[in-house]
Every structure is written in structure tokens, then in C-alpha cells.
């Protein structure tokens, strides 16, 4: 529709090659903005100050002739859009006039482009039927050097196998390399398994204020400014946005010491970092790959001292999960498939941004810390059925399960304090029948302190009253007789 309207006005008022500015308004400004900064507040890439229109003009001529699609980085920002080809509509002299205008406006100071030059490029690419990708064009016509995002960047490679960020200060590094691109990149590491890397350089804050950093890595990485940790992604896992983290820091205007640490365990590898803040209004890449910029987090939190329920796909448990976030910073995910709380954790509850509008793709991991996976298989015999849950006036849940003619009630409430978070769990068996064995945990090392006290893994202690617990090959089992009630206290160490 846009194209037709533009074409109609073009026919009504014939334009000459020299009207570069007017042709630009007609053919380019809808997307690139009348001021060349990218229309709709920079949602489209800028031509003002773009290295893509600087230096060798062949690159820009090809973009206009055949269009561009896929990921492209312009001035530290990554776009992944479509520019339709314009070569069918625009003759050589008009393309030359537009690009001459673009190359000499909004602070751009480049040589004019002649119709002959456009014709030569058009002839040389006559076979081209598809839009270009940035990668193809940059191979043919590399960008002229631009200011590196990180000044004086040096890197060092470390060899070793880690599953968590090591203390690099105790390790022996390889040679110091200069990174002239000024970007965090593992392209020249020389390894793709079992290695680490540390970069150091100067990052300049254009103004004083709060800056945000987005980091993602396969496997782990952290970012320090002036020796203060700003953001960390630890442990092993993919770089698909699901583990990415954001951190923030107050900076004065001027240069700051940036340090980035990274390790790769096995499999895929990569690191992605970007930042924004005063004077940097949209995310700027500090790495050769951009982090997947997800939606801003929508934290789900307990309100007015009442627990909150989240029913959606939660990573680490089964599809029919019920998440409960309690006041006091303890949380659980109950599996209605396996009939028990499979995950418990402290701190923030859930980030709902992924599933806000619909049941979006993938599972959402817990937003907080100290996640303990208690179990992942059925907690009760096959004939047990989930009967739903009830909330008390403060939102504390009681899950109920029917086992033949008996009902097992499983209640959870927060205990402890912010410094020492804990859960109080009450399990009681109602009705007539035989004793029931309930799987409390599996695959977590159990240390028995007494008949009533156990250590569960490294993070948790468990105290039991009113029932016996049995430890069978790292499976902790609770035996309940009809009419019996057991009280369990889970406490983070």
C-alpha cells in the first residue's frame, strides 16, 4: 500500500535525479526516518552515522538494489528485519542521488555516488534474485573501522574443565591478546571445549547514572566494573535467553574498568553482552553476538502478606505444576502429576513475562535462588489421584490426594525468617486403610544427624516430627499410618 501511494505521487510530480532529498523522503524516510535516525523511535536502523553507508558505496548500493534481511548490526545495535528491494522501482540516477544525499546529510561526510557507479553495481549483480544478508555483504565489503565499544581491550585464555566460574586469579593464563574489535568474542579463543577467557578494557559512560547490563553465556560468565560484580550467569547450560541475566550499576561519567570472565564446559559455546543507560537509549552490543533481548521481566510476587499462585509451565517440574510464592521469600512448585512439591526455592518467585499473553514457548525457571529439586518421580502408589488444593485466608495451600479410600493432606506454610528461610509442611492421612509410603526426596544426598534430623544435599536441613523417615539409597521415604500426622521443617542452611 505504501509503495502504491508513493508511486502515484511520483507519477504526479516527476522528480529528477538531483532531488536526492525528496527522493529520500519518498523512498526511504518511512522506515529510516526523515532525520535518518530510524523511524518509530529507532525501531528501524539509522542511516545517520551508519558505517553501512560510509566508505565503499557498493555495500549501500547493493542494499538499495536488492534489499536486506536477517540480523544486521548498525552502530552497536542489532536489528533483525526486512528491507524490500528498491532496484525495480528506482533507476540508477535516482539511487545515486538518494545515496549521495544520505552520505552527505545528518553529519555523514562521504563522497557522492555517480549513476555510472550504480549501473556498474547493478550489472555486476544482475543475477541476484534474493535479498542480501549482512554476513554476505560484510564479507564482500567490510565496514571501515569504527570506534570500538570497549577501549584498550585485552583477552587471556585459560585451559581447564569447570562447571562453575573458577577463581581466575589462581589460574595460569595464556598470552595476552589485543582485541582490536573492542568486542567480547570467543572467535579467536583457539578452543571450543574446556576453556575459560578473561577480558579487560575501558568502558566509557557517556553520562553519570544507572546503567543496565544484559549477559548471556554458554556456559557461565560474569561482568565486573571497577572490580564490582554487576551481573553473573553461572553453571552450565545453553545461551538461548532462558539463563540470561540483567544487572545494574551506578556509574560516573567517563571511563571505567571493565572485566569479563567466561568459561565453557562442553558442547555449544558463546557469550553475549549489551548495555544501556544515560546517553545510550537502546541496548548496545559489547560482544560480537547480541544477547537475546527478552521482554522486560514481570515479577509475580505475594501481595499484602498473602501467598500468590502461578499455574503455568515451570522448568524443573512436570507440565501440571502449581507454583506458590509465599510472603517471606520461600516458594514451591507442586506437581499435580507426581503429587508432591518437587521444587522449593528462596527469594523471588516467578517472572511471568514469557507467559503473560499466552502460554508462550518453553518452561519458566524459578526467578529466585537456592532452588532445591526434591524429587522428580511419583511420590505415591499408582492409584493415587490429585483432588485439588485449598488456600487458607493467608493463601497457604493444602494439596489433597486420594489413595483408595484415604485422603492425604499436604499443607505448606512459610516458617523461619528472611535470614533463615524455612518451610513448615504438614502431612496427614485421613480415613480407613493401610499405611502409606510417601517419597519425600530422591537423588539428594541424605546425611542423617539423628532419627529426626537430616541434611538434604548441601543446602537444606529437614526435621521431622510425628513420623519415621527412611533413607533408602538416597531416597527419603515417609511412612504414614491412617490417622497419623507428620510435621516437617525444611530449612536452608
Residues that bind ligand HEC (CB under 6 A): 27-28, 30-32, 44-47, 50, 52-53, 60, 63-64, 68-70, 72, 74, 79-84, 86, 98, 102
Pairing of β 421-430 and β 406-416: antiparallel
CB of 53 to ligand HEC, least distance (A): 5
CB of 26 to ligand HEC, least distance (A): 9
CB of 153 to ligand HEC, least distance (A): 25
CB of 231 to ligand HEC, least distance (A): 27
State the cell numbers at 171: 589460574
Using the minimum distance from each CB to ligand HEC, give the nearer residue, 76 or 395.
76
Residue among 247, 264, 248, 51 nearest 149 (CA): 51
CB of 108 to ligand HEC, least distance (A): 10
> 102 near 53, Cβ under 8 Å?
yes
CB of 44 to ligand HEC, least distance (A): 5
Query: ∠ CA 307-311-316 to the nearest 5 degrees?
Result: 100
Using the minimum distance from each CB to ligand HEC, give the nearer residue, 128 or 387.
128
> 389 near 324, Cβ under 8 Å?
no
Edge-to-edge order in the sheet of strand 245-251: 245-251, 209-218, 270-277, 280-285
Residue among 197, 218, 233 nearest 266 (CA): 218
Using the minimum distance from each CB to ligand HEC, give the nearer residue, 80 or 282.
80
Residue among 144, 132, 195 nearest 168 (CA): 195
Using the minimum distance from each CB to ligand HEC, give the nearer residue, 32 or 245.
32
User: Radius of gyration over alpha carbons of the chain, in Å?
Assistant: 30
State the cell numbers at 324: 506458590
> 279 near 176, Cβ under 8 Å?
no
Using the minimum distance from each CB to ligand HEC, give the nearer residue, 92 or 459.
92
DSSP 319: S
Using the minimum distance from each CB to ligand HEC, give the nearer residue, 46 or 325.
46
The end-to-end CA distance of the chain, in Å, is 64
Q: State how far the Cα of 327 lies from the Cα of 414, in Å rounded to an integer.
A: 8
CB of 416 to ligand HEC, least distance (A): 51
Using the minimum distance from each CB to ligand HEC, give the nearer residue, 274 or 338.
274
State the cell numbers at 94: 535516482
Using the minimum distance from each CB to ligand HEC, give the nearer residue, 98 or 467.
98
Instruction: Please give the helix or strand (H or E) that residue 280 lies within, else none.
Output: strand 280-285
Phi then psi dihedrals of residue 459, to 5 deg: -105, -15
CB of 24 to ligand HEC, least distance (A): 7
Using the minimum distance from each CB to ligand HEC, give the nearer residue, 58 or 379.
58
Using the minimum distance from each CB to ligand HEC, give the nearer residue, 17 or 31.
31
Question: How many other CB atoms are there within 10 angstroms of residue 146's CB atom?
Answer: 14
3-state helix, strand, coil in the chain (%, to 5): 15, 40, 45
CB of 136 to ligand HEC, least distance (A): 11
List C-alpha distances in Å: 67 to 76, 129, 133, 276, 470. 21, 10, 9, 29, 68
CB of 61 to ligand HEC, least distance (A): 9
Amino acid at each position: 500500500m505504501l509503495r502504491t501511494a508513493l508511486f502515484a505521487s511520483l507519477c504526479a510530480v516527476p522528480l529528477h535525479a538531483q532531488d536526492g532529498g525528496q527522493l529520500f523522503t519518498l523512498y526511504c524516510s518511512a522506515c529510516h526516518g526523515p532525520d535518518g535516525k530510524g523511524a518509530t523511535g529507532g525501531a528501524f536502523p539509522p542511516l545517520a552515522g551508519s558505517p553501512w553507508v560510509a566508505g565503499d558505496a557498493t555495500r549501500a548500493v547493493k542494499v538499495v538494489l536488492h534489499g536486506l534481511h536477517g540480523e544486521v548490526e548498525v552502530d552497536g545495535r542489532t536489528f533483525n528485519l526486512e528491507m524490500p528491494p528498491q532496484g525495480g522501482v528506482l533507476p540508477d540516477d535516482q539511487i545515486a542521488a538518494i545515496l549521495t544525499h544520505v552520505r552527505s546529510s545528518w553529519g555523514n561526510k562521504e563522497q557522492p555516488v555517480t549513476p555510472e557507479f550504480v549501473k556498474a553495481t547493478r550489472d555486476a549483480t544482475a543475477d541476484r534474485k534474493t535479498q542480501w544478508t549482512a554476513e554476505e555483504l560484510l564479507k564482500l565489503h567490510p565496514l571501515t573501522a569504527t570506534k570500538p565499544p570497549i577501549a584498550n581491550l585485552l583477552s587471556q585464555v585459560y585451559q581447564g574443565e569447570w562447571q562453575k566460574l573458577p577463581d581466575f586469579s589462581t589460574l595460569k593464563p595464556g598470552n595476552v591478546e589485543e582485541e582490536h574489535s573492542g568486542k567480547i568474542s570467543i572467535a579467536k579463543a583457539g578452543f571450543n571445549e574446556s576453556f575459560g577467557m578473561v577480558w579487560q578494557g575501558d568502558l566509557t559512560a557517556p553520562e553519570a547514572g544507572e546503567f543496565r547490563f544484559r549477559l548471556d553465556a554458554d556456559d557461565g560468565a560474569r561482568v565486573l566494573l571497577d572490580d564490582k560484580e554487576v551481573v553473573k550467569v553461572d553453571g552450565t547450560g545453553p545461551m538461548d535467553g532462558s539463563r540470561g541475566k540483567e544487572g545494574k550499576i551506578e556509574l560516573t561519567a567517563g571511563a571505567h574498568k571493565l572485566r569479563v570472565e567466561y568459561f565453557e564446559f562442553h558442547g555449544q559455546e558463546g557469550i553475549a553482552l549489551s548495555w544501556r543507560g544515560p546517553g545510550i537509549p537502546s541496548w548496545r552490543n559489547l560482544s560480537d553476538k547480541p544477547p537475546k533481548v527478552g521482554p522486560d521481566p514481570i515479577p509475580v510476587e505475594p501481595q499484602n502478606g498473602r501467598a500468590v499462585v502461578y499455574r503455568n509451565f515451570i522448568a524443573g517440574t512436570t507440565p501440571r505444576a502449581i507454583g506458590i510464592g509465599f510472603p517471606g521469600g520461600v516458594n514451591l512448585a507442586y506437581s499435580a502429576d507426581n503429587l508432591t512439591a518437587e521444587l522449593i526455592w528462596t527469594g523471588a518467585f516467578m517472572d511471568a513475562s514469557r507467559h503473560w499473553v499466552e502460554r508462550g514457548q518453553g518452561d519458566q525457571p524459578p526467578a529466585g535462588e537456592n532452588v532445591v529439586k526434591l524429587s522428580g518421580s511419583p511420590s505415591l502408589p499408582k492409584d493415587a489421584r490429585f483432588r485439588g488444593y485449598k488456600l487458607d485466608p493467608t493463601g497457604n495451600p493444602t494439596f489433597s490426594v486420594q489413595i483408595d479410600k484415604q485422603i492425604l493432606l499436604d499443607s505448606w506454610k512459610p516458617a523461619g525468617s528472611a535470614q533463615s528461610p524455612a518451610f513448615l509442611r504438614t502431612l496427614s492421612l485421613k480415613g480407613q486403610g493401610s499405611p502409606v509410603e510417601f517419597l519425600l526426596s530422591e537423588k539428594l544426598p541424605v546425611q542423617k544427624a539423628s532419627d529426626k534430623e537430616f541434611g538434604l544435599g548441601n543446602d537444606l536441613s529437614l526435621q521431622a516430627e510425628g513420623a519415621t523417615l527412611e533413607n533408602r539409597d538416597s531416597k527419603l521415604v515417609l511412612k504414614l499410618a491412617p490417622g497419623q500426622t507428620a510435621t516437617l521443617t525444611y530449612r536452608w542452611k
